[in-house]
Amino acid sequence: MPLNALIVVDKPAAWTSHDVVAKARRILGERSVGHLGTLDPMATGVLPLVTGQLTRLSQFYTASAKAYEGAIRLGVATDTYDCDGEAMGTAQDVQVTLEEVRSAASGFVGRIQQMPPPFSAKKIQGVPAYKLARRKQEVDLRPVEVEIQEFTIYGLKGELVEFQCRVSSGTYVRSLAHELGQKLGIGAHLATLRRTAVAEFTLEQSYTLEQIAEAAAEGCLQQLCIHPRLILPQIPCVTATEEDLGKIRHGRAVNLPELSRSPWVKVFAGQAELVCVASRVAGTLFHPKVVLM
């Protein structure tokens, strides 16, 4: 029987998001596994996984905001904008104050035009930028508008700037580090990065792959899963009648009089089985858009 679940993984360093998905497939014995938001290999932290029918909910998370904490190393830029890259030029002396770094960082808050890193998955005429960069081919990247909701500098220890940030989908924290170094005139790159939140999912809800494997072996995996009623909290829930469930199975609209104002609704069979996400057609009539049963 397919496992329909959402589990928040605490991704380890040096693993790609694809590595985590592949490992989860083996642990869970489930072929249909996806993730909600790629993390660079050097980064750790929140990587929500969806399995079975719940992979169809990924479409609701393509524009999710994210939160991070980490450290930026001042004095040298790298070609990847992070610690995995090669240094660009010689290291410079770091003689800036915490106040100067905070002042420079404040200029990035709000909607800004950001240039993606040359070593990224951003596609140029169908080819990921990192493939072109590795072939020493010209990478013609263009800036994109992103929103930096928060960029807080809370420490400066030698060459390391400690920070936390909340950003819109599509933001590269690596680029943020690189551009901060440019603004300070001394170069910089991302030294460490830990994602603390994706949409409604937080680090406090996450588990290591080892913990997930242990729970699966002991038959108590459900204890680690996010309860379906907590997924997409901005969309209200309703428990369907047997008659309505029959209509939903056949893709027919259902009348939900208690939800006359919401554009979307999560429909449940009982307390924990999410059967569909429906959109309002008119009045109290809702049509199933994503059926999960």
Segments in 146-289 forming alpha helices (H): 173-184, 209-218, 242-249
How far is 224 from 227, CA to CA, in rounded Å? 9
Asked whether the beta carbons of 38 and 121 are under 8 A apart, the reply is: yes
Q: Which of 15, 5, 6, 11 is nearest to 47 (CA)?
A: 11
Residue 183: count of CB within 10 angstroms of its CB? 16
User: Helix, strand, coil shares of the chain as percentages rounded to 5?
Assistant: 25, 35, 40
- Give the distance from CA 37 to its chain's centroid: 3
Q: Which of 84, 92, 103, 106 is nearest to 40 (CA)?
A: 84
Integer-rounded Cα Rg, in Å, for the chain is 22
The length of the chain, given as a count of residues: 293
**Residues designated catalytic:** 40
